[in-house]
């Protein structure tokens, strides 16, 4: 609208609700894009001439539609009774006086297994609504977990229960902390509520993060991320708040079994996960058990299978992690502007990328042929300014992922390049029933450990050699991975259908991002835990297992989420749904 109009408008009438940086090459020049809320009343009170501004704005915004969405949000907020009632009542649902929640003499006892985002948010909602919650976590609180991860990085000591996957905050604590999700985007447009509700819950999750110490800009940034240094104190605050709400939190407490009577879970068997001599398992009784175990608790999956819990194999993706110098990615993505990023003034974010390619399109008409011939290959968990880390939970199995700190200031950019695999591919592991996908993961984790030669050394190969099927004979480019890399034939690690899909897609990516295939780019093996290889079946409305009453499988490990935010939202939904069944809450979710 020009600087003249802009200068007459009062700043306080505007709130930035989203800010993103767009450096696509189709644009004449890179741009920051702002989405702003305008308080029309404030605007007109201060500057009556702003009518002119509004008249010009309205046709562009489609104001009527916007108001309809806002009304929907109001309706939902009152339905869920989620109003902002002061800083302590973060979700605003603890007020039991208004009839929406039910105070009870005898509180129902709920166990939540796992303190990742899904378990934390389920505990949070249930405790706010009046349940007696016990949160059982096999790993350590973040303070000790940090020391254990330090010992892994420096002295190669892998604590089986306290590592990058297990411990307070779950798998995403030592991560890049990207807070992005695809929830709701593809939902059926006819049902407005179903579109909007996930966004409302996302908003609540983000607000909760801010309440516990995340920087408020995550509410605004187009691609918000926290980084490990911000996640750790946030989790500490979350823990204190849960304890204030009366949640019993037990670390070092691994659930080894479920106590089942007449098709209903009655409690759990917990053991000290450090297995101190003389320690014994403890039986604990509960009215309901929320299972928020993540996708690395393979022993717990086995236990569920023993109980004949309904589980079905699920598609996921496997591949390798590629690392480039961050400077190279900045140059590819930003061209001349890359120099600004190198100066490190922080205005322009370090460059990232997100790629999806489809390779080997089938010309067969037989649907069953498709999984073998057409594969989707995509970048996953891209960490600009980050480092490659070890996410193994067992010394004989090797897998990796990426993490970063909030400033994303390292000189590396890493990302997984993964290919989708489905139950069709798990056939060699059929004897493992619904856990065939887990065995499939294990097979390649074991091969990677052997290729690396042990001691958590990661097998690696120059990307140029990988696409030419040859061992890297020259010195490998440097890697951010701290436990060492070993030149290996990564092109022989996976079966040809995966290797070839990766090779073809890397060549396609290089056409789109010239320079991506570079002698400075190093592939690391192996990335297997992109999401859960199975789904623990549950009823849509109640979140209860389809086969075992009283069991509520949630989050990534149960196959209902992929990432911090979607896991947190799933936990939140489950909290409401279970509270409803326990007569603690009478709203509709
Ligand atoms: P988890 O976070 O896996 O939590 C499960 C918890 O259950 C664990 O703490 C575990 O110790 C505990 N547990 C398991 N079994 C038992 C048992 N039997 N008894 C007691 N406790 C048990 N996602 C993003 O959105 N953005 C990112 O940037 C990102 N980066 C990542 C980087 C790394 C290195 C890793 C490993 C993951 C990353 N992810 C990221 C994925 C994200 O962490 C997960 O999607 C998310 O944490 C899943 O949440 P969850 O609650 O379902 O399970």
Q: Is the pLDDT score of 182 beyond 90?
A: no
User: Quick one: which atom of ligand 1 is closest to the CA of 303?
Assistant: 18
Instruction: Report how far residue 543's alpha carbon sits from residue 577's, in angstroms, rounded to the nearest whole number.
Output: 7
**Which residue has a Cα nearest atom 11 of ligand 1?**
166
Distance 292 CA to ligand 1 centre (A): 9
What share of the chain has pLDDT > 70, as a percent? 80
Q: How far is the CA of 285 from the centre of ligand 1 (A)?
A: 25
Residue of minimum CA distance from atom 25 in ligand 1: 563
Q: What is the pLDDT of residue 13?
A: 79
Q: Is 475 exposed, middle or buried (0-12, 13-18, 19+ CB in 10 A)?
A: exposed
d(CA 261, ligand 1 centre) in Å: 30
3-state secondary structure of 293: coil
- Residue 84 vs residue 34, higher pLDDT: 34
* C-alpha 22 to ligand 1 mean position (Å): 30
- What's the 446 CA to ligand 1 centre distance in angstroms? 21
Q: What is the three-state SS of 238-252?
A: HHHHHHHCCCEEECC
Alpha helices by DSSP H, 457-555: 463-467, 496-512
Distance CA 179, CA 352 (A): 14
**pLDDT of res. 521:** 97
pLDDT band at 191 (very low <50, low <70, confident <90, very high): very low
Domains detected in the chain:
2-61 (no CATH), 96-312+533-581 (3.50.50.60), 315-527 (no CATH)
272/250 Cα distance (integer angstroms): 10
CA of 61 to the centre of ligand 1 (A): 39
- Please report the pLDDT score of residue 186 as a whole number: 32
Q: Which residue has the tokens 């969405």?
A: 69
Does the structure show a pLDDT above 80 at 274?
no
**Centroid of ligand 1 to alpha carbon of 237 (angstroms):** 18
Distance 168 CA to ligand 1 centre (A): 9
Most confident of 141-155, 276-290, 361-375: 141-155
- Take atom 15 of ligand 1 and give the residue whose Cα is closest: 293
Residue 429 has pLDDT above 80, yes or no: yes
pLDDT at residue 67 in the model: 46
- Say if residue 237's pLDDT is above 60: yes
447 confidence band (pLDDT: 50, 70, 90): very high
Q: Which residue has the higher pLDDT, 332 or 474?
A: 332
More confident residue, 191 or 396: 396
Residue whose Cα lies nearest atom 39 of ligand 1: it is 172
Q: Is the pLDDT of residue 178 over 90?
A: no
Measured by CA distance, the residue closest to atom 48 of ligand 1 is 556
Of 168, 228, 553, 564, best ligand 1 pocket probe by most atoms within 8 Å of the beta carbon: 564
CA of 314 to the centre of ligand 1 (A): 18
Q: What is the ipTM of this complex?
A: 0.99
Q: Which of 252, 293, 386 to mutate to test the pocket of ligand 1 (most atoms within 8 A of CB)?
A: 293
- Whole-number Å distance, alpha carbon 401 to ligand 1 midpoint, is 12
Q: Please give the Cα distance from 493 to 505 (Å, whole number).
A: 17
Task: Kindly provide the residue ranges of all beta strands, DSSP E only, lying in 26-108, ordered along the sequence.
Answer: 31-38
Q: Please say if the pLDDT value at position 39 is more than 90.
A: no
User: Atom 30 of ligand 1 has which residue's CA nearest to it?
Assistant: 175
Whole-number Å distance, alpha carbon 581 to ligand 1 midpoint, is: 27
| pLDDT exceeds cutoff 60 at 78 | no
Residue in 172, 225, 253, 304 to alter for ligand 1 test, most ligand atoms within 8 A of Cβ: 172
Q: Helix (H, G, I), strand (E, B), or coil: what is residue 295?
A: coil
Measure the CA–CA gap between 223 and 232, rounded to whole angstroms. 20
Torsion angles phi and psi, residue 273, rounded to 5: -75, -10
Ligand 1: atom nearest CA of 256 is 18
Residues having CB closer than 6 A to ligand 1 are: 113-119, 136-139, 164-167, 170-172, 174-178, 254-255, 292-294, 297, 300, 381, 389, 391, 401, 403, 555-557, 561-565, 567
Q: Which atom of ligand 1 is nearest to the CA of 571?
A: 51
CA–centroid distance, 562 to ligand 1, in Å, is 10
For residue 171, give both structure tokens: 């798998």
How far apart are the CA of 90 and the centre of ligand 1, in A?
23
Residue 442: name the closest of 531, 501, 371, 526 by CA. 526
H-helix segments, 319-453: 326-334, 338-342, 370-373, 436-452
Report which protein residue has its CA nearest ligand 1's atom 24: 563
């Amino acid at each position: 609208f020009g600087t003249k109009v802009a200068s007459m408008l009062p700043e306080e009438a505007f709130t930035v609700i989203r800010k993103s940086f767009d450096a696509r090459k189709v644009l004449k020049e890179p741009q920051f894009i702002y989405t702003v809320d305008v308080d029309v009343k404030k605007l007109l009170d201060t500057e009556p001439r702003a009518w002119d501004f509004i008249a010009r704005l309205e046709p562009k915004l489609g104001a009527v539609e916007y108001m309809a969405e806002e009304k929907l949000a109001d309706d939902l907020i009152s339905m869920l009774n989620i109003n902002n009632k002061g800083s302590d009542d973060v979700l605003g649902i603890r007020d039991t006086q208004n009839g929406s929640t039910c105070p009870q003499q005898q509180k129902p006892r709920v166990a939540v297994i796992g303190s990742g985002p899904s378990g934390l948010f389920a505990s949070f909602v249930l405790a706010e609504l009046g349940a007696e919650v016990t949160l059982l976590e096999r790993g350590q609180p973040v303070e000790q977990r940090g020391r254990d991860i330090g010992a892994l990085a420096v002295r190669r000591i892998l604590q089986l229960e306290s590592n990058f996957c297990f411990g307070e905050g779950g798998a995403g604590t030592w991560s890049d902390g990207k807070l992005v999700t695809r929830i709701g985007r593809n939902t059926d447009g006819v049902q407005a509520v179903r579109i909007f509700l996930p966004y409302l819950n996302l908003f609540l999750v983000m607000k909760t993060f801010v309440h516990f110490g995340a920087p408020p800009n995550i509410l605004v940034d187009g691609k918000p991320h926290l980084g490990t240094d911000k996640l750790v104190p946030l989790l500490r605050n979350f823990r204190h708040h849960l304890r204030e709400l009366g949640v019993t939190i037990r670390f070092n407490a691994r659930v080894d079994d479920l106590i089942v009577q007449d098709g209903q879970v009655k409690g759990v068997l917990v053991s000290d996960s450090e297995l101190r001599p003389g320690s014994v398992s403890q039986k604990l009784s509960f009215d309901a058990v929320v299972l928020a175990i993540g996708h690395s608790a393979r022993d717990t999956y086995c236990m569920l299978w023993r109980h004949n819990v309904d589980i079905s194999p699920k598609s996921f993706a496997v591949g390798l992690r590629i690392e480039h110098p961050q400077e190279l990615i900045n140059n590819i993505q930003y061209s001349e502007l890359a120099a600004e990023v190198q100066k490190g003034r922080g205005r322009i974010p370090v460059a990232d990328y997100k790629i999806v390619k489809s390779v080997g399109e089938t010309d067969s008409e037989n649907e069953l042929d498709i999984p073998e011939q057409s594969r989707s290959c995509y970048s996953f968990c891209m960490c600009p300014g980050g480092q490659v880390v070890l996410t193994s939970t067992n010394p004989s199995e090797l897998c990796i992922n990426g993490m970063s700190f909030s400033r994303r200031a390292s000189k590396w950019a890493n990302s997984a390049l993964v290919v989708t695999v489905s139950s069709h591919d798990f056939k060699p592991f059929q004897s493992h029933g619904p856990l065939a996908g887990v065995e499939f993961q294990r097979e390649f984790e074991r091969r990677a450990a052997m290729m690396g030669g042990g001691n958590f050394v990661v097998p690696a190969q120059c990307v140029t050699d990988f696409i030419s099927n040859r061992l890297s004979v020259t010195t490998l480019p440097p890697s951010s991975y701290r436990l060492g890399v070993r030149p290996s034939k990564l092109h022989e690690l996976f079966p040809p259908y995966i290797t070839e899909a990766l090779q073809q897609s890397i060549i396609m990516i290089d056409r789109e991002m010239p320079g991506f295939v570079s002698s400075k780019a190093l592939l690391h093996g192996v990335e297997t835990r992109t999401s859960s290889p199975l789904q623990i079946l549950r009823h849509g409305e109640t979140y209860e297992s389809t086969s075992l009453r009283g069991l509520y499988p949630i989050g990534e490990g149960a196959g209902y989420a992929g990432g911090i935010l979607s896991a947190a939202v799933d936990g939140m939904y489950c909290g409401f749904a279970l509270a409803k069944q326990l007569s603690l809450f009478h709203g509709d979710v």
